[in-house]
Amino acid sequence: MSGVHRTPFRAYRAQSTTNQDLLTYQIVIAETDLWIASRTDLSVMAAEKVRTLRGQLEAYAVLHPEFFPSLTPLVADDHAPEIVRRMCVAGQATGVGPMAAVAGTIAQMVAEDMQPLSADVLIENGGDTYLCSTQDRYIGLLPVPGQAVRVCVPVAAAEFPCSFCASSATIGHSLSFGNADLVVTRSKDAALADAAATALANRLRSAHDMDSVLEMARQWQAIGLDGVFAQCGEKIGVWGQMELAIR
């Protein structure tokens, strides 16, 4: 496991809490920075999986140089590895390039390998998560300015596994063509949640776009999107399985 990777974009991790029966650790490999909670220390397994997935992406990009920079949907070739196929499918469904889904896809595929050894696996990858839990949990969306509380979504144990993914034009370093302060999506499919968060944030250029963003999210319910929280300036929009609570 790599040493702690400190950046202001990860300051929210200091506010994360889990039950005492879960161990927490960090995996940093190149641009991939995972915060993981599991019942036992599975850091070696997780790191190996990250290296494998990153290697598959890099090898695919050598043969398909358009893969990394594309901002529009791509179709994976017949011999593409699973991670590429998932990313491309999510991009096609939401109208964005495949790399818009990379963080969520890595989080889910690492968790899928770990879950047979730990029924509880919580993985966060730069604001994009994939969560398997045997207990009810509160998923933090954002802090309330000036207060030691957060806006959260309560998730019952029966609702896991699920994914929450975030995109912002003002927080972090991800590319966004909109002006959203925050868009958080929910889905069982982390690739879809990640790609949808990017697509919806791109569309949210001002508070006047909120209704159209929520309508687009509703239309994507048919492909597996379960909810969205969006904030632009002082306007907030919520749709789907995103009941809000303060913790």
For residue 18, which phi and psi values (nearest 5 degrees)? -135, 170
Asked whether residue 208 is assigned to any structural domain, the reply reads yes
Cβ atoms of residues 126 and 166 within 8 Å? no
Query: Each residue of 21-60: pLDDT tens digit?
Result: 799 999 999 999 999 999 999 999 999 999 999 999 999 9
User: Which tens digits make up the pLDDT trace of 117-145?
Assistant: 999 999 999 999 999 999 999 999 875 55
Domain count, the chain: 1
Q: Find the range with the poorest average confidence among 15-24, 124-133, 203-212, 222-231.
A: 15-24
Q: What is the mean pLDDT of the chain?
A: 89
**Whole-model pTM?**
0.89
Which residue type does 44 have?
A: V
In one-letter notation, the amino acid at residue 81 is: P
Domain assignment present for 2: no
Domain that holds residue 82: 8-246
**Helix-, strand-, coil-residue percentages of the chain, each rounded to 5:** 40, 25, 35
What CATH number should be reported for the domain holding residue 231?
Answer: 3.10.520.10
Whether the per-residue pLDDT at 241 is higher than 70: the answer is yes
The pair of structure tokens assigned to 39 is 């019942």
Q: Is residue 111 part of a domain?
A: yes
* pLDDT band of 3, cuts 50, 70, 90: very low
Residue 184: per-residue pLDDT: 96
Matching residue, tokens 């999210």: 217
Q: Is 1 inside any structural domain?
A: no
